[in-house]
Structure 1
C-alpha cells in the first residue's frame, strides 16, 4: 500500500474479515491513535486499530536509565565553530550488546517537548535486535535514516524493512521494535509538536521532488503470544525514559484503517529539480519532507538530500557556494563521497554548521571547480548525502563534544588563496 497521508486500511491475511465494513465500533474492541496537524487548513489524522487486547493492559511505568538520550540543552557551553564528526563508532558485539534504544545518542537540539516546540538530532549505533521489548515516543516523531545495516521494524501496523538509502518515519505514540543483523548505524531527526509532510511545490506544480505514491505503509501483521517474564514497553516522555511490563505482545493488531501511520520512502525515487541555465537554485529544491513552524516559510526542520544528478549550469561555480545561513545545518553521509568535501567527511559521520557560521567547499574542491572546463557532468554519482536543517539554534550535548570529533576540521579551508585582480574585467 502506498500514498503519503492518504486513508489506508489493512488486515492480516490470516484473519479475513477482521476489518469491519461500514462502522467503527464493533464487538472487537477498537483503539484509536490520533494526532492533530495544524496548517492553513485544519487536518485531523487518526487510525483505528483492531487488536486482541487493548494496549492499556500493562503494569505501571517506572523510570529507567537514560543512557545518552537527552533534551537538556544547557549541559554544554555554546559552540559556534564549524564541527565535523568522524564515523560514529559501533560497539563490538563480543564486548557488549547494544540495541536500537540503548544505542541512541543525542548530538544536539533546541526547544523541549513540554511546550511541544523544537527538535533533537540523534545517532544510533547498535549490534543486536530488541528482544521482547518495544519503544514509543510520547514527545514527537522519529525520522530514521539508516546508514549501515538494514532495519526490520515491527510496528503496530505491520512490518517495514528499511535499508540504507531509505528512510522511515515513526510518528508520535506508535510502538515499534527494531531487528538488526550485525553492526548497524544511522541518524534520527526528532520533532516535537509537528509532523513531517511534503513541502509545498509552488511553481514546480504537480510533479517533482518526492511523489506521494512512493511512500509505503505497512500491511497488517499480528502476533498472539504470551511472553514469559513479561514484555517491556519503553516510553520516551518529556525527554525521560520509562518502562512498563505486560504479558502479551504489543503487536497484536489484526486490522487497522486510517491516515496516521508509519511509512518509509526510497531516496532513489526523488525527482531532482535543478538549474539548466546558470546560477544555483536554493537548496530547498532538494527537500524531501518538512516539519513546518507557525511562521510561513520557516521550518522547525527540513529533511534535504543531495542525490546523483546532472550539473549543466554555465558560467557558474557549481559546487555549493560559501554562505552564512539563518538556518542551522547538520549533514550526514549515507554512502559515497560528497562533492564539496571529498576528504574527511565520511559515511557514518556528520557535520554541523550553526546559524550564521560560515561554511562551504574545502580548498581542494574550490581549486578544482574554479579551473575545470564547464561541461555537462554527473554530480554525486554513487553518493547520498543529506541535511537536517532547522530555524532553531542547536545546542550540543557533552557526548557530542567528546566523541568522534574531528578537531582539525577548520584546516580544510586554511589553504584557500586569493584570486583577486583589481584590473580583471
Structure 2
C-alpha cells in the first residue's frame, strides 16, 4: 500500500492537500458550483468552526458520487454493549488502586472492528466534548457492506497484533503494529482484516483534535516530524448494493441501511484528513549527562485543553533509544501525577516493569495514585554500571489525560486482571540509615 501514501501531513497546522482518483475530478479555480466534473457533488467536511484561526481551521472539500445526505436513511438503535462513553460509572467492586492486566481474550465468534470494541476506561463527558475513552479493539472478520462514523470524537487506533486496511472516505490506509492511524470525527470508514485476527488499542478523543506538541527549547527537529505523517490518495468505489452505515452519537450507536456504498469520494482537497504514522520514525531526545527528563519528552501527539500546557489527552511512547546519562536513576522514577495514565505494550519489554507487563496487556495508574518501577527494576538501576546502554525490543505507549479514568465493568471483571499487581512493590524495604549523616 506504500504507493498510496504520497501526501505528507502536519496535524493541526493547516496544511492543504489535493488528490484525485480520476484526472480532472478536482476543479481548478472553480467559477460555478454547477461545473463539477463527472457529474460529482461538491461537499465540505468541517472539523472546526468556520471562524477558527487560519492555522486551526480544518476542512476538506470532497467531490463525490452522491452527497452525504444520501448516505444515511432512518436510523435505528444498535445494541453494542461493549462500547461505552463518558460519563460511565459502571457497577463494580474495584476501589481506586493501581491496576494491570494480561492480554484480554478475544470475544467468542467472529467480530468486526466495531462489534469487537470493548471499553476499558472513560473520562470527562462526551456531551460537552471533554475527555476521552480508552477501548480495546478485536477484529476477526472484515467489515463488508458496512461502514462507521463517530460524531463523538476522533479515533486514534494503535494496532498490537495483525494488520488492518482502513478504507476511509478519503482513501485507504494499511496499518499494523508499530504504526498508528487517526480517523477524524465524522469521517466514514470501514476496517478490513489483512492479517488476523487483529487486536489493539483505541483512544476516542472527545475534545480538541490531536496535534503535534510544541518542541520548545528542543527546536526545529526531533520527536515526531511532520514529513512522516501520511495521508491517503483518493480512492473510491461505485457500488450500488445494500450497505449499512453505523453512527456513534452522544454515546449511542445507530444503524441505517442504504442501497449503495458511501465510499464514493473521487477527489478531495483540504486539511481535515485521516493519517497514519510509523512510530519507528519517532526521533527521541534524552539526557546525555545527568538527571532524568520528564516522560513528556516522548509525546507524539497532544490534544490540548483550554489550559496551556495541560492536555485533554497526550499520546506518549517509550521506544527503542539510548540511555547514556551518568549519576542518575535511569528508569521512570516513583511519582504521583495529576494526570491519569493508561499504558499498553505493543512489543518487547518495558524497562520499568520487566516482568508481568506483556505485549497486548495494559495498566492503569489513575490521578494521584503512586507508581513506579518494580523491585527488580529498582535494584538493577541502583547498582548497574552506568555505561551507555541501548534499550532495544521495546515499544510501550501511554494515553494520559487530566481527567480521572473511570473503569468499566468489562475491565473490572476481566479474567486477566492481575490481583497481585501491587505485590511488585512489596520488596521495597526501608533503606534509610541516619548513620550516613555527616
Aligned equivalent of 1:2: 8
State the Cα distance separating 1:39 from its structure 2 match.
8.5
- Structure 1's unaligned 5+ residue stretches are none
Distance verdict in 2 for CA 1:411–1:141, change over 3 Å: same
Instruction: Find the counterpart in structure 1 of residue 399 from structure 2.
Output: 388
CA separation in 1, counterparts of 2:28 and 2:82? 46
CA distance in 2, matches of 1:281, 1:416: 24
In the alignment, the residues of structure 2 paired with residue 332 and residue 172 of structure 1 have an alpha-carbon distance, to the nearest angstrom, of: 24
Please name the residue that 2:296 is paired with: 284
Partner of residue 168, structure 1: 181
- Closer/same/farther in 2, CA of residues 193 and 327 from structure 1, 3 Å limit: closer
Number of residue pairs the alignment of both structures matches: 417
Determine the C-alpha separation between the residues in 1 that align with 2:97 and 2:406.
12
The CA distance in 2 between the partners of 1:374 and 1:302, in whole Å, is: 30
Match of 1:327 among 316, 339, 344: 339
Deviation string, structure 1 residues 95-118 (Cα, Å, up to 9, x no partner): 511110011011111122211111
Quote how far apart the aligned CAs of 1:317 are: 1.0
- Given that 1:306 and 1:385 are in contact with CA atoms closer than 8 Å, whether structure 2 keeps it comes out as yes
Cα distance, 1:147 vs structure 2:
0.2
Write the deviation string for residues 337-361 of structure 1: whole angstroms up to 9, x where unpaired: 1111111101111000000100000
Partner of 1:339: 351
Match of 2:105 among 89, 94, 98: 89
SS in 1 for 2:230: coil
Q: Which secondary structure does the structure 2 equivalent of 1:360 belong to?
A: coil
Separation (CA, whole Å) in 1 of partners of 2:282 and 2:52: 25
1:13-412 matches, cutoff 5 A: 15-23=22-30, 25=33, 26-27=35-36, 28-36=40-48, 43-57=56-70, 58-71=72-85, 72-76=87-91, 79-91=95-107, 96-180=109-193, 181-227=195-241, 230-379=242-391, 381-403=392-414, 404-412=416-424
1:157, 1:253 within 8 Å by CA — same for their partners in 2? yes
Larger deviation: 299-308 or 120-129? 120-129
| Structure 2, gaps ≥5 residues long | 1-6
Task: Decide whether the 8 Å contact of 1:3 with 1:212 is kept in 2.
Answer: yes
What whole-Å deviation, never above 9, does each CA across 1:207-258 have from its counterpart, x for those lacking one?
A: 110001110000100110111xx20000000011000011111111100000
Counterpart-to-counterpart distance in 1, 2:175 and 2:196:
15
Q: What TM-score do you get using the length of structure 2 for normalisation?
A: 0.92
How far apart, in 2, do the equivalents of 1:294 and 1:144 lie?
25
Q: Give the TM-score taking structure 1 as reference length.
A: 0.95
